[in-house]
A and B are shown apart, each in its own frame.
Chain A
Amino acid sequence: MTTGLNEAIVRGISERKHEPSWMLDFRLHCLDVYNGLPLPSWGPDLSGLNIDNIQSYVEASSAMVDDWEQVPGEIRETFEALGIPEAERSGLAGVGAQFNSELVYHNVKAAVADKGVVYLGLEEALQGEYAEMVREHFMKLVPPEDHKFAALHGAVWSGGSFVYVPKNTTVEFPLQSYFRFNAPGAGQFEHTLIIVDEGADLHFIEGCSAPKYNVANLHAGCVEIYVRKNAHVNYATVENWSKNMYNLNTKRAIVAEGGKMEWVTGSFGSHVSMLYPMAILEGDGATMEYSGVSFASADQMLDTGVKVVHSAPDTKSFINAKSLVKDGGENTFRSLVKVSTKAQNAKSFTDCQSLMLDDRSKTDTIPNFEINCASADIAHEANVGKISEAALNYLQSRGISEHEARGMVVRGFASSVSKELPVEYAVEMNNLLKLEMENM
């Protein structure tokens, strides 16, 4: 088991994957950039994360397959317990399942593939018909120079998916990627590249989980989404990493004229999270919507939020963020709304609400606005408080216990986010909320 990060490890990863030479050159460039960049000077404490103790790559025991029956027994049982094969059968267009560093299963339903929808493992896409498309787009939205963990990702990425949806094609059921950690002290660095062509429509769901270990795990994945003219993408994540995880993920979309990008995020796990999905609205009339809920409890520091850049006229963004804290958890909502000089008539509205469930915890709201266009209309509101005594009294007067009443209020608080999810995932989110409240 090799931990740490050096040129030999990067070369070893590339060699195992039989990659084109440009990818090896790119990885080595990223390693140089990583070594030259400092850790962020703001945000949660990352001192417990030591890259020298992280295993960047965990070798797979089997090759990727497209039939669950061929997945090795123990791994298949893990995903069955998580409900992934059942979800695929009942309501998904395709699934990619990653176990530690490698995809173990990847499949797209024939009816979806017949429409020309491409859903491949990214490493597979590097080699064949889509090689040039991947090369043209890979880490252009999130360049390695962006920040230290983008550079780390670029050096040691492994696994992940490539999605291409052709023009005017609607993928009626969601595609899903599921990421499972099983190795203590490991890092997971999957890369998701999604290109949705003009007029097309895609719903993508990302799920993740890991057992808890006594050592740190690191997740530094990357998601890049290209929303072409008049296309629509909904990207939903329900994150329930174990509480030894450092979740330092980067997600970014660029939206062309008339396009719409929707981020839906539920953050419940991790010891430390730094997660700010971002959209660049570069085409006239492009739109971004963000709905997110974050729940920090004991031993968690969740620093999450969203960023949007309005770079064209008539662009719109809507941000709805909820956060909850209890048992000494720390939650920070951090956002950026930037309106460039070219963004005439841009409109943005942010609503951020924080609920404190006890007085041992901490919640900070730090939104940032940079408005450089006189015709923009920008509004923001935020509030922080506790569960209303009047609401609790009312529910208790109807025979509901205080404990159940608190749970109802919390689920109601998060409902504007959970209703943006497919029903199975909304149920999962509500179950996670219920679990957090039961531990109070």
Chain B
Amino acid sequence: MHWIEVRDDINLALAKPEKLIFAVLKPSRLVLKVPENMKNHFCIFSHDSTTLSLSLARGASVDLEWICFGGEFANDLQITLGENSNVKIRGAGKFNTNDKISYNYSAQHLDSNSQSDFVFFGSLDDNAQKNSTLKIDFVNGAKNCIGNEREDMILLGENVKNRCIPQIVCAESDVVGNHGLSCGHIDDDTRNYLESRGISEKQAKTTIANARILQVVKDMRSQKALQYLERFLNV
């Protein structure tokens, strides 16, 4: 996988199938255009505000892992899907004390037979805030499309603020759209089990928050990406 440190806007029309890792270190806009029938794999580590505009032409396919680190910034992921294209996005974020993160995700199905899948796993520690809007948009004519979006947040601290608006906008009957949201805390069984193994509550929270991120990237098969991640997760 090719590693790209991003400190400014990038506009990329891909010429061949690539596996790219973007580490966004400064507020930047990534414009990625995937041409017909091409399959690509991307990973984005957001240390700062990330605006992604990803467009898939007919038959294109993208797998994307997106890791959002803590801080105070907004992200915007806009996906447009052409005929027979599909995108699968797995995202995760570990938001620590006093972090304020927002993200918008939108998948617009412009033509028939496309599929979008988005899932985000996150954790919020003391005083952290997260605002998110998710949107699946089936325009008229987007026949036989499937759109799935899901967010799963675990609340680890006090004074957290978790806001989410998961939307489905549909002007076509021949579609399947699903969204789900769940938000909870460490259950007592898990807490008791970890404590019985000598793991403190603080360590347990760290382990659980890290696990959410690692489950997203474990299939990347990029040693460099995993090492990079482990530095930030204090694993």
Contact = CB atoms under 8 A, between A and B. Distances in A.
Interface of A: 341, 354, 356-359, 361-386
A369 B172 contact: no
Contact of B177 (A366, A367, A385): A385
A369 B173 contact: no
Given A374-B155, A374-B158, A386 B165 contact: no
Contacts of A364: 167-170
A240 B196 CA distance: 60
Contacts of B170: 354, 356, 362-364, 384
A301 to B, nearest CB: 14
Contacts of A381: 178-181
B182 interface: yes
B157 interface: yes
Given A376-B155, A379-B182, A385 B163 contact: no
Given A365-B167, A380-B166, A386-B173, A372 B160 contact: yes
A359 B185 contact: no
Main SS at interface, chain B: strand
A376 B176 CA distance: 30
Nearest to A377: B184
A385 B169 CA distance: 12
B185 A377 contact: yes
A383 B175 CA distance: 10
Contacts of A379: 180-183
A358 B173 contact: yes
Contacts of A371: 153, 155, 160-163, 183
Nearest to B176: A385
Contacts of B138: 384
Contacts of B165: 366-369
19 contacts: A358-B173, A359-B173, A362-B169, A366-B165, A367-B167, A369-B164, A371-B153, A371-B155, A371-B160, A374-B124, A374-B156, A374-B158, A375-B155, A375-B185, A379-B182, A380-B179, A384-B175, A385-B176, A386-B174
A357 B178 contact: no
Interface in B193-207: none
Contacts of B166: 367, 380, 382
A374 B167 CA distance: 24
Contacts of B168: 354, 363-365, 382-384
Interface in B120-178: 124, 138, 140, 143, 153, 155-178
Nearest to A374: B155
B173 A361 contact: yes
A363 B171 CA distance: 7
B177 A383 contact: yes
A25 to B, nearest CB: 39
Nearest to A332: B169
A369 B174 contact: no
Given A354-B170, A372-B161, A383 B178 contact: yes
Contacts of A383: 168, 176-179
Nearest to B141: A359
A359 B139 CA distance: 10
B181 to A, nearest CB: 4
A359 B145 CA distance: 13
A370 B173 contact: no
A410 to B, nearest CB: 13
